[in-house]
Chain A
Amino acid sequence: MSLSRKAKRSIWSWVALSPLIVLVLFPFAVMILTALKPPSEVLRQTWIPSEFHWRNFITMWGATNFGKALWNSVYVSTLSTIIALIAAIPAAYAMSRYRFRGKGAFQQFLLVSQMLSPIVLVIGLFRLVVWLGLVDSTNSVVIVYAAFGIAFSVWMLQSYFATIPRDLEEAAWIEGATPWQALIRVFLPLALPAMVVTALFTFINAWNEFVIALTMLRTQDSYTLPIQIFSLVAGRYTVEWHHVMAATFVATIPVAIIFAWLQRYLVRGLALGAVK
């Protein structure tokens, strides 16, 4: 009986979600169908290509310098996520475990820094990067992304850490563990879901960021994916849409897979992080 009730609910759930799902999937359909059109058909208003031109993906790879851009994106996103977490975890730990002078100010600093978007700061940021001698280095982008990720990471982690009972660490101390051991063996495993979510957020923001990369990166060798793909449509005398769409499609696959895989952590982690 309950099975059929669930079946019924499934049907109307899918029906109710269908408009949104159509809207969400529409750009993907545009991407993949355009990517598979023979170049001569790209401008025609048809949906289905006369033949599936898989070669587009191969020619795109060479024509768009895709491999290098993909590697740059992976490098920048991963490294900035690691740096943001390494800086944010101790800070969040301190915020959730101790009272100290300046704590409120630090909290406010984090909140305010969330409001400053890269585009508002880009003129100043660029001067800073030049001062550091990092122009056209992907490392400049790494540092900026990491710094912009810190505020959110601390905020997320701190509220989650606060839900982990202090007794657990203290119990470990009593059993003879050093604080570091207690931290690593007891505390961090418990905090893992929140760290996964935080990492995912930072990673995605870095993966998708546009304005900073556009300003800091000069050569195609250092371009990240969004910039590389944007450069295929911006101000060119002719745009090869089948390549653009093929590149966009391939660029979304890695994140889409990570997403599908970590999606359940995401909800749990945010739930705990957000309320407190």
Chain B
Amino acid sequence: MPDPVSRQGLAQMNRSLLVNPYVLIAPGFILAALIILWPLASITNIAVHDVNRFGVLRDYVGFENFQVIFADPEFLGALRRTAIWVFGIVAGSIIVSIPVAMILNADFYGRGLARVIIMLPWAISLTMTAIVWAWAMNGESGMLNSGLRAIGVLDRNIQWLAQASTAFPMQILIGILVTIPFTITIFLGGLSSVPDDLYEAARLEGANGWQVFREITLPLLKPFVNIAVVMNTIYVFNSFPIIWVTTQGGPAKSTDILVTYLYKLGFQYGRLDDASALSILMFVLLLAFTLLYVRLAMREEKA
């Protein structure tokens, strides 16, 4: 039997630990800060210096590295494509996910199976997905061409990755496919929080399907759409494997986005200083977008 006094003392101590929020957040904060702030500081430091390709700091150069990035026509091209890439995937996945989530929210035979299938892309690493698709899009041996030929859509092979006009849309399509599971999960969560009697009531009042969707479902989904936009934008903006594995940003840089441009700058061309400056720029860009979007979304909600 434990001594009652010391046990009480222990409880006292435990309680004080439990009610001290700083103690509670400390482990999480320290770990996250170490792994995130320390590298951020180190990158910021590199970004304002002239640095050789092995990261040895030389002179302080202020914003010169940033100017180099802004003056690089490839940066502007990559920026433009990043905008298309992010918008295409985020919008595309939301447009597909809303109806699919509605179907999956209703009861039907095999719903469990359908949910599992549609969630599957989530279970594969993006790198592996991209490797499989790159192989499937191979102009000669790829099963995409042979499949489309078999069902009569194509009468000759397409070299999917030979030019941006086919490669980039396919990359966006793959991006949409892998973004859908997360988006649908969020929407399903939203839909399941809608009480059924709301629909019953609407139907009793004679509203048709479209009206129910517009007047009830969509407004209820709105906060969830906002979450999907913010989370997916962050994720897609930083997404690297799809483009890297399929085209490495080529041919002739025509599918380069900011992350692949960053990777080339830093690790292929050895321009660590410019790459660090670009890292900071990308972070600021994303931060600005997110803050702007959250603010707009909140204002709309209030209005």
- Which positions in A face B, CB cutoff 8 Å? 6-7, 9-10, 13-14, 16-17, 20-21, 23-31, 33-34, 42-47, 83, 86-88, 90-91, 93-95, 97-98, 100, 102-103, 106, 109-117, 119-121, 123-125, 127-128, 143-144, 146-148, 150-151, 154, 178-180, 183, 204, 207-211, 225-226, 229-230, 233, 241, 244-245, 248, 251-252, 255-256, 258-260, 263, 266-268, 270-275
Asked if B162 is at the interface of the complex by the 8 Å CB criterion, the answer is: no
Contact among A102, A115, A123, A251 for B275, CB-based, below 8 A? A123
Q: Tell me if A121 and B36 are in contact (CB < 8 A).
A: yes
Stretch from B134-142, B197-205, B207-215, B295-303 forming part of the interface with A: B134-142
User: Chain A: interface secondary structure?
Assistant: helix
Contact among B128, B147, B286 for A229, CB-based, below 8 A? B128
26 CB-based A-B contacts, threshold 8 Å: A13-B108, A17-B103, A24-B120, A24-B121, A27-B136, A43-B141, A45-B142, A45-B146, A86-B27, A94-B24, A119-B240, A120-B279, A123-B42, A124-B38, A124-B40, A125-B35, A146-B31, A148-B35, A178-B11, A208-B126, A211-B240, A229-B131, A251-B125, A263-B112, A275-B190, A275-B224
A179 to B234, CA, bound (A): 38
How many A-B pairs with Cβ below 8 Å?
A: 289
Nearest CB in chain A: distance from B24 CB, A: 4
**Across the interface, which residues of A come within 8 angstroms of B31, CB to CB?**
83, 87, 143, 146-147, 150
Nearest CB in chain B: distance from A240 CB, A: 12
Q: Tell me if B123 and A9 are in contact (CB < 8 A).
A: no
**Across the interface, which residues of A come within 8 angstroms of B43, CB to CB?**
120-121, 123-124
Q: Tell me if B108 and A10 are in contact (CB < 8 A).
A: yes
User: Chain B: interface secondary structure?
Assistant: helix
A51 to B38, CA, bound (A): 55
**Across the interface, which residues of A come within 8 angstroms of B25, CB to CB?**
90-91, 94-95, 106
**Across the interface, which residues of A come within 8 angstroms of B118, CB to CB?**
17, 20-21, 24
Q: Tell me if B46 and A123 are in contact (CB < 8 A).
A: yes
A208 to B266, CA, bound (A): 23
Interface residue tally for chain B (C-beta within 8 Å): 101
Asked if B55 is at the interface of the complex by the 8 Å CB criterion, the answer is: yes
Nearest CB in chain B: distance from A16 CB, A: 6
A183 to B23, CA, bound (A): 16
**Across the interface, which residues of B come within 8 angstroms of A33, CB to CB?**
143
**Across the interface, which residues of A come within 8 angstroms of B141, CB to CB?**
42-45, 241
A207 to B123, CA, bound (A): 9
Asked if B122 is at the interface of the complex by the 8 Å CB criterion, the answer is: yes
Q: Tell me if B103 and A210 are in contact (CB < 8 A).
A: no
**Across the interface, which residues of A come within 8 angstroms of B272, CB to CB?**
123
**Across the interface, which residues of B come within 8 angstroms of A31, CB to CB?**
132
User: Which residue of chain A lies nearest to B43 when distances are taken between CB atoms in the complex?
Assistant: A124
Contact among A180, A230, A263, A271 for B193, CB-based, below 8 A? A271
A23 to B175, CA, bound (A): 12
